[in-house]
Amino acid sequence: MRIATTVILTDRTVSPVRLARALEERGFSGLYLPEHTHIPVSRVSPAPMGGELPEMYGRTLDPFVALAQAAAVTERLHLGTGITLVAQHDPIDLAKQIATLDHLSGGRFTLGIGYGWNVEEAADHGVEWRTRRELVRDRMALMRALWAPEPTAYLGEFSSVQASSAYPKPAQTPRELAPGTPLHGPRTLIGGAAGPKLFAAVADHADGWLPIGGHGLTESLPVLRQVWEAAGRDPKSLQVVPCSVQPNPGKLAHYADLGIEEVVLQLPSAPEAEILRTLDGFAQYL
């Protein structure tokens, strides 16, 4: 089982460069970073973990800039977002950022995407909350048109792009979305809670699921696999990567029994010394 990590990096934590080097030196497989552009102080949306929202959420580094630094100082470490708030980006600009990072890292990038929880943050980006899932699907389709090997136009409900020259292309080779239909771009995992809408989206336009916390997988995985196969997807190609996991030996053994091949462990949002102590504790799982 591959053991990756995730952390909220801020202007007060360990730097991306120092963390990436420490992870690769110790044999961890990857680094996933979350995203918040800003946190409106009105705080209408409840914190996802309950209680007061920690200050670090409003100090989060841009994940693409931070991961580019990590890519530049490593050779094997996989890099990912957990998650990118696709609805809050211009899709043409985002497609360029993603393709560039995957190209420069030699195909080491995983695009974790999601729909968000902070209504007021999304509203400042002009996102209509009730249609955010449809917006994300639309923007993913536009980006895949730009990642296609030949100039490909896209006309969707929310956005469009002309057939264009758009380089670099992502380094990762296309997978099969359905027989005869390639899926262009980096490995894409959709984050979120188990449910019909989420599983339909995973089967429709992703490589797999990024469940936060990893709870309830015994019940959820058979349902997702059924939806996946009903959509005509190859049963062997589904990837499920539990993220933000607080590990113990029994939990990781259970994931292995479920056929899970990668787990993302949660690091504290902290200075370098505390991060290194945590990594040394996690080394027992490598």
List pLDDT tens digits, range 225-268: 999 999 999 999 999 999 999 999 999 999 999 999 999 999 99
Cα separation of 243 and 266, whole Å? 7
Instruction: Give Rg (Cα) of the chain.
Output: 18
Cα separation of 19 and 284, whole Å? 18
Three-state DSSP class for residue 76: coil
Per-residue tokens: 47? 């914190």
* Range 262-276 average pLDDT: 97
9 touches 277 (CB < 8 A):
no
b/e map 85-114, b = 16+ CB within 10 Å: bbbbbebeebbbbbbbbbbebeebbbbbbb
Write out the E strands in 108-246.
Answer: 109-114, 154-155, 160-161, 175-178, 181-183, 187-191, 208-210, 239-240
Indicate the pTM of the whole model: 0.97
Distance of CA 204 to the CA centre of its chain: 16
Q: Which DSSP helix (H) or strand (E) runs through 5? A: strand 2-6
Nearest to 3 by CA among 264, 242, 234: 264
Q: Which DSSP helix (H) or strand (E) runs through 31? A: strand 30-33
Cα separation of 166 and 53, whole Å? 39
Tens of pLDDT, residue by residue over 178-192, are 888 999 999 999 999
Cα separation of 226 and 223, whole Å? 5
Tens of pLDDT, residue by residue over 57-72, are 999 999 999 999 999 9
Looking at residue 195, the DSSP 8-state letter turns out to be S
* Range 158-175 average pLDDT: 97
Task: Please state, in angstroms and as integers, the Cα–Cα distance from residue 142 to each residue in 187, 191, 204, following that order.
Answer: 16, 20, 14
240 touches 228 (CB < 8 A):
no
Average pLDDT of the residues of the chain? 97
255 touches 263 (CB < 8 A):
yes
pLDDT at 131: 98
Task: Please state, in angstroms and as integers, the Cα–Cα distance from residue 53 to each residue in 41, 49, 88, 131, 151, following that order.
Answer: 10, 8, 20, 25, 44
CB atoms within 10 A of CB 29: 18
Per-residue tokens: 213? 């916390």
Nearest to 165 by CA among 92, 91, 90: 92
